Structure 1
Amino acid sequence: MTDDGWDAELVESTLRHAVPQLAYLIPDFHNPTGLLMPDDTRARVLRAAHRCGTWLVVDETLTDLALDVPAPLPCAAHAAPGASAQVITVGSMSKSHWGGLRVGWLRAPSRLVTELAAQRVAHDLGGPVVDQLLALYFLEGARASVPERVARLRERRDALTGALAAHLPQWTWRQPPGGLSLWVDLGAPVAAALAERALDYGVRIEGGASFAADPGVFEQRLRLPFTAAPDVLREAVRRLAAALADDRPVPSAAHRPRWIV
């Protein structure tokens, strides 16, 4: 993946040479970049995976959180006839409805679903009943609850970007059309140091290296979620600016405050 999105040629080349049995994708409002995979790229990736016999696990957990665009079609809808049999689509209600609701779902060929369900029962005898009842309640009111959550997230995203523009104008980012976070470019490889210093100011953030397969990559990036209330986000950005300006040695964990924004 590049700053501009998915490198379809690299994906095709990797699948052709490595021939993996399984590949994992987040095409909708990708975490952490927030990018949305174009329809033509989806079709290319699906064709390439089908040619190589690679199963795709497509994570659609964030699909409903479309802030500026219509919610995208399922990725499997872009597959050629017959190729969709190699797509396993997964999702969760923890992002679209409530973070504490750890109820997920899976869409795949019926035989594979049956086999996976049997494995689930063998491991933990099934999911919590109360959680499933709560999930049913949310699903019955999804037409109202999801748009309300999207509207709140849009307001919070605007609060975060406004605060960044006011307090940290040297940072840059691409406005994500959906999802839950900004992928911020700090302009210098200081993400890890800033994340450590921010703890001293009561702010917990993740440096870009946490989302990289190779050490040292994305050290100039921060993922900043916009899930908190607008006032909390504005205060967090103010503290981040103060932490960035603080050039004292980073204190040990024992001397940091326990309150985290």
Structure 2
Amino acid sequence: MQNKLLTIGPVTLYGYGLMIAIGIFFAYRLLEYRARKHQFDVKHISSLTLWGLLGGFIGAKLLYWITQFPNIISNPRILLNIGEGYVVYGGIIGGILAGLLYCKIQHLPFLKHLDLFAPSIALAQGFGRIGCLLAGCCYGAETNSWFGITFHHSDIAPNGVALVPTQIMESVFSFGVCILLLLVAKRTKKVGLVACAYLILYSAGRFIIEFFRGDIIRGEVGILSTSQFIALLIVLIASLILILQKYQNQWMGKNA
């Protein structure tokens, strides 16, 4: 795996950045197509995308700083490294909160728009993890299994040893979640179901994949990694939203 794909003079094309850009491009194309199909205001979709990206960037960086707090105390220069150090869950939470704020300001139905965005978020994550594979970050634990992958020129992952391909596992899983969410979206009109399905499915998959991760910079909460702890909270919150939505609909039906 090679992160530096091409160098022309002072400009270097990195695989990680390229896959992030490709992911955003295809995710937005899918989002725009579905928005027009379901008669959403594309102007708001574009603005929500920008807000979500900005909120995701800030959230991913903040959560990384939180997990690295002891190291930052001893080496504050970590705060100046903007190009590296992001946590996916921070990006998800930050993006969702930014979208919630935008919807509140514009008086838009938040859950309905989150339903629209959910498959595209999963799609972007699938491409993003391919970028992680090229960069060598988010690598797996050492393994003797036949499906292990070995890095030889990575600045991040251990070189010369077989590792569990956690990046590939999560990429394939994310693409699968995207397809499943699109199928669910075609078969339901329940507001919030697609969004909650994304949060529950991704969190459950991420919780399991975390057991196979080998990088140790992600922080811990007791016996769980930071991401596993957040995954449990998100599953709980998303499940609670679904339950509340169900009882609200039943109550409204009885009083109609």
Task: Indicate the TM-score class for this superposition, using the shorter chain for normalisation.
Answer: under 0.3
Structure with larger RCO (C-alpha < 8 A, sep 6+) = 2
TM-score normalised over the length of structure 2? 0.24
TM-score normalised over the length of structure 1? 0.24
Structure in which a larger fraction of residues adopt helix: 2
Structure in which a larger fraction of residues adopt strand: 1
